[in-house]
Amino acid sequence: MSYTSIMAAAATDSERAGDFIFDWNELNRKGRLVPQAFAMVDETLRDGLQNPSIEDPSIDDKLRILHLMDDLSIEHADIGLPGSGKRAFDDVLRLCREVVDCKMKIKVGCAGRTVVADITPIIEISQKTGLAIEACAFIGSSPIRQFVEQWDVALIARRSAEAIDMAVKAGLPVSYVTEDTTRSRPDVLTTLFRSAIEHGANRLVLSDTVGHATPDGVRNLVQFTRSVIAGTGAKVGIDWHGHNDRGLALGNALWALEHGADRVHGTALGIGERVGNPAMELLLLNLRLLGQLPPERDLTKLVEYCETVARAVGWDIPLNYPLVGRDSFRTATGVHAAAIIKAMQRGDAWLADRVYSGVPAGTFGRHQEIAIGFMSGASNVNYWLRQRGIEPTEMLVTAILEVAKGTRYLLSDDEVMAVVTGAAKPKT
């Protein structure tokens, strides 16, 4: 499909949406939702693997996941902590070589504490592969962390500067990560941010390490950070790294973009430390539906990306999970199914994908599904049979509905076919 045809289809979609959908989300909006250019950082292979209930994927699975990130045009990936052990080092090295050998577009980074033992392996892998790996150097900055660790601000600033200096001297871009930024004092952050910038950090990563922030906190912190950067006169990026302890991670990430962050972090299915991070697939889904991603950006591999990660780490995707869950585009309710079927009978896939769905399944590589259950009507059965080339006679439809109404669940395909087969048998 050519760029011209894609843009024409997008224009048609927009025009049709205006005819059929009143979008309260856009009412009184002042300008573009995200005013600046932005990028995504995929933390699946780093923070995602810190979830206490997952398995460390094989290197083959990690390579496949990295390729899917690249296919989805995710701009950056944090691919691990090579200082944490030999297997971690070897896997990061292999992933970096894959990026080079396959000429992948995605840029990679690695996390490490602000200590020589963690920065050295990143430099070593960079030198082995010729890849400018982003060094994401982290240290706690909140009063509660300082108290537990018996650190003072001078010690944090000194350790941070030493790690940044080491990475910069090796020619690596540096993101300075203040852990627990959302519970840190403004004066401490000002000291640490200015020092990091003076020593050559390219980015400041605002971390909601324990999922403390609300949207107001996100706005306040991002705007504060922008003012600190402006005071230095430097050009330094701002990242938002959130967690989902209050269930606000997705909204907070979108809010961070709106208020000035130019990169946000996420993981496949939101897996990560404790209850996880913003879900990458839901970030991309919402940014597409909010008109913040170009229509030519192909997101049809989002489901494969999520399913691949789930298999690789031993994760069960909830049935009702948005976009990827088994039930996200499936209905057995008679009224809902009837409306979808009427749209399909018009030959109007656009209409069928939206009449009972706020997310157009086809945009993301899925389709609407009509099932048969205890809340179904004749339209469900007629559609199900026609999809399989079976003539929906009145007797057959009645027989299937009778079985469906007597159950407490959706009928499986085998159960429906058993009724079809039974109805086809001659009476003896």
Q: Which of 172, 169, 160 is nearest to 96 (CA)?
A: 172
Predicted confidence pLDDT, tens digits, the chain (428 residues): 443 444 445 546 766 777 888 888 888 876 678 878 999 999 999 999 999 999 999 999 999 999 999 999 999 999 999 999 999 999 999 999 999 999 999 999 999 999 999 999 999 999 999 999 999 999 999 999 999 999 999 999 999 999 999 999 999 999 999 999 999 999 999 999 999 999 999 999 999 999 999 999 999 999 999 999 999 999 999 999 999 999 999 999 999 999 999 999 999 999 999 999 999 999 999 999 999 999 899 999 999 999 999 999 999 999 999 999 999 999 988 898 889 989 988 889 899 999 999 999 999 999 999 999 999 999 999 989 988 999 999 999 999 999 999 999 999 999 999 999 987 665 55
Q: Rounded to an integer, what distance in angstroms lies between the CA atom of residue 36 and that of residue 24?
A: 23
Q: Which of 143, 246, 127, 149 is nearest to 187 (CA)?
A: 143
Supply 338's token pair: 């009837």
Q: Are 141 and 188 in contact (CB under 8 A)?
A: yes
- Domains of the chain, with CATH numbers? 31-313 (3.20.20.70), 330-424 (no CATH)
Q: Are 84 and 121 in contact (CB under 8 A)?
A: no
Q: Rounded to an integer, what distance in angstroms lies between the CA atom of residue 277 and that of residue 242?
A: 6
H or E element that contains 179: strand 174-179
Residues composing the chain: 428
Q: Rounded to an integer, what distance in angstroms lies between the CA atom of residue 199 and that of residue 165?
A: 6
Helix, strand, or coil (residue 49): helix
